[in-house]
Structure 1
Amino acid sequence: MTAVKQIQASARAQVGKGAARAVRRQGQTPAVIYGGGAAPEAIALDANKTRLLIYGGHFLTTLFDISVDGKTQRVIPRDYQLDPVKDFPIHVDFLRVAAGQTVTVEVPIHVVGQEASPGVKSGGLVQIVEHSLEITVEPELIPEAFEVSVAGLQIGDALEASVIKLPKGAKLSVGSDATIVTIVPPMAEEAGDAEAPAAEAKKA
Structure 2
Amino acid sequence: MSDFTLNASVRNDLGKGASRRLRRANLQVPAIVYGGESAPQPISLEKSAFYKAIEDESFFSSVINLVVDGKSEQVVVRDLQRHPFKPLVTHADFLRVDATHEITINVPLHVVGEETCKGIKDDGGELHVLSNEVQISCLPKDLPDFLEVDITEVELGTTLHLSDLTLPAGVILVDLTHGEDHDNAVLSITKPKVRGGEEDGEESAEGEEGGESAE
Shared topology, TM-score over 0.5?
A: yes
The aligned amino acid for 1:139 is P
Q: Does 1:6 align with 2:12?
A: no
The aligned amino acid for 1:35 is G
Give SS of 1:169's match: coil
Q: Which moved more, 1:173-182 or 1:122-131?
A: 173-182
The aligned amino acid for 1:12 is R
Residue 19 of structure 2 is matched in structure 1 by: 20
The aligned amino acid for 2:12 is A
Q: Which moved more, 1:158-167 or 1:41-50?
A: 158-167
Q: Which of the two has higher C-alpha Rg? A: 2
Shift of 1:152: 2.0
- The residue correspondences of 1:53-64 to structure 2 (distance < 5 A) are 53-64=53-64
Any conservation in 1 of the 2:66–2:72 contact (CA below 8 Å)? yes
Any conservation in 1 of the 2:61–2:146 contact (CA below 8 Å)? no
User: Using the alignment, how far apart are the partners of 1:76 and 1:4 within structure 2?
Assistant: 12
Shift of 1:98: 0.9
Number of residue pairs matched by the alignment: 199
Any conservation in 1 of the 2:30–2:44 contact (CA below 8 Å)? yes
Q: Does 1:48 align with 2:79?
A: no
Any conservation in 1 of the 2:77–2:94 contact (CA below 8 Å)? yes
Give SS of 1:165's match: coil
User: Using the alignment, how far apart are the partners of 2:68 and 2:155 within structure 1?
Assistant: 54
- The residue correspondences of 1:139-158 to structure 2 (distance < 5 A) are 139-158=140-159
Tell me how large the CA RMSD over aligned residues is: 2.4
Shift of 1:94: 0.7
What are the superposed Cα offsets for residues 32-77 of structure 1, whole Å, 9 maximum, x if unpaired?
1101021111111111221111122223212111111111111111
Residue 67 of structure 1 is matched in structure 2 by: 67
Any conservation in 1 of the 2:2–2:145 contact (CA below 8 Å)? no
Structure 1 spans left out of the alignment, 5+ residues: none
Sequence identity (%): 35
Give SS of 1:38's match: coil
User: Using the alignment, how far apart are the partners of 1:171 and 1:134 within structure 2?
Assistant: 9
User: Using the alignment, how far apart are the partners of 1:167 and 1:19 within structure 2?
Assistant: 44
Any conservation in 2 of the 1:75–1:94 contact (CA below 8 Å)? yes
Instruction: Give TM-score scaled by structure 1 length.
Output: 0.87
Any conservation in 2 of the 1:83–1:89 contact (CA below 8 Å)? yes
Q: Which moved more, 1:165-174 or 1:10-19?
A: 165-174
User: Using the alignment, how far apart are the partners of 1:3 and 1:60 within structure 2?
Assistant: 10
Q: Does 1:118 align with 2:136?
A: no
Shift of 1:28: 0.5
Shift of 1:92: 0.6
In 2 relative to 1, CA 7–114 (structure 1 residues): closer, same or farther, beyond 3 Å?
Answer: same
Any conservation in 2 of the 1:109–1:148 contact (CA below 8 Å)? yes
The aligned amino acid for 1:104 is T
Shift of 1:85: 2.4
Residue 188 of structure 2 is matched in structure 1 by: 182
Shift of 1:134: 0.9
Any conservation in 1 of the 2:4–2:53 contact (CA below 8 Å)? no
Give SS of 1:39's match: coil
The aligned amino acid for 1:81 is Q
User: Using the alignment, how far apart are the partners of 2:20 and 2:161 within structure 1?
Assistant: 47
In 2 relative to 1, CA 117–168 (structure 1 residues): closer, same or farther, beyond 3 Å?
Answer: closer
User: Using the alignment, how far apart are the partners of 1:23 and 1:158 within structure 2?
Assistant: 49
User: Using the alignment, how far apart are the partners of 2:59 and 2:79 within structure 1?
Assistant: 9
Instruction: Give TM-score scaled by structure 2 length.
Output: 0.83
